[in-house]
């Protein structure tokens, strides 16, 4: 009984210490880009993006690749139709696409995805 409690506590401490090692990288300034509209007017979106880095020691590596990652996010958003940009489900899909691309690029550049999650913390569109 004592051994199982000790094991459980060890697992809990291990998971807590791992979670506390995360770091967040925010793209500054906010990303502003156009998207595809069905009308002749131009649509744009302004968003704040945060990357949840799995290990705080990789913050500088992610920061170094920020221009590449920013460009990829802008390209993905710029290819999206207005219907997707303006819907909640569409935004979740865009977020997923951006996260996958960021992880892919970081893996190509560093050999590891380094990022656990990509978060849109602000989203304004017209």
Residue 14: inside a domain, yes or no? no
The number of distinct structural domains making up the chain is: 1
Contact 81, 31 (CB under 8 A): no
A 10 A CB-CB count for 103 gives 19
Burial label for 114, CB within 10 Å (0-12, 13-18, 19+), is buried
What percent of the chain stands above pLDDT 90?
Answer: 75
In a domain, 7, yes or no: no
The predicted pLDDT at position 112 comes to 97
CATH of the domain at 50: 3.30.479.30
What pLDDT is stored for residue 1 in this prediction? 52
Q: What is the pLDDT of residues 5-31, one digit of tens each?
A: 554 545 555 555 555 699 999 999 999
Q: Give me the pLDDT at residue 63, please.
A: 97
CA distances from 59 to 15, 19, 24, 97, 110 (A): 20, 15, 8, 22, 13
Q: What is the pLDDT of residue 11?
A: 55
Whether the pLDDT of residue 46 is over 80: the answer is yes
Name the band, by pLDDT with cuts 50, 70 and 90, for residue 100: very high
Is residue 13 in a domain? no
pLDDT for 12: 54
pLDDT (0 to 100) of residue 115? 97
Residue 67 predicted with pLDDT over 60: yes
Domain encompassing residue 30:
22-125
Q: Is residue 8 part of a domain?
A: no
Mean pLDDT, rounded, for 80-101:
95
What's the pLDDT score for residue 36?
Answer: 81
Q: Residue 126's pLDDT is what? A: 85
What pLDDT is attached to residue 16? 53
């Amino acid at each position: 009984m004592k051994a199982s409690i000790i094991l459980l506590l060890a697992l809990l401490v291990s998971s807590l210490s791992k979670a506390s090692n995360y770091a967040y990288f925010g793209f500054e300034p906010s990303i502003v880009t156009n998207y595809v509209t069905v009308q002749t007017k131009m649509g744009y979106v302004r968003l704040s993006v945060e990357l949840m880095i799995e290990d705080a020691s990789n913050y500088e590596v992610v920061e170094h690749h920020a221009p590449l990652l920013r460009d990829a996010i802008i390209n993905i958003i710029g290819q999206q139709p207005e219907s997707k940009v303006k819907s909640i489900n569409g935004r979740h899909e865009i977020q997923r696409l951006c996260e996958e691309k960021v992880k892919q690029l970081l893996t190509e550049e560093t050999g590891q995805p380094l990022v656990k999650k990509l978060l849109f913390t602000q989203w304004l569109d017209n």
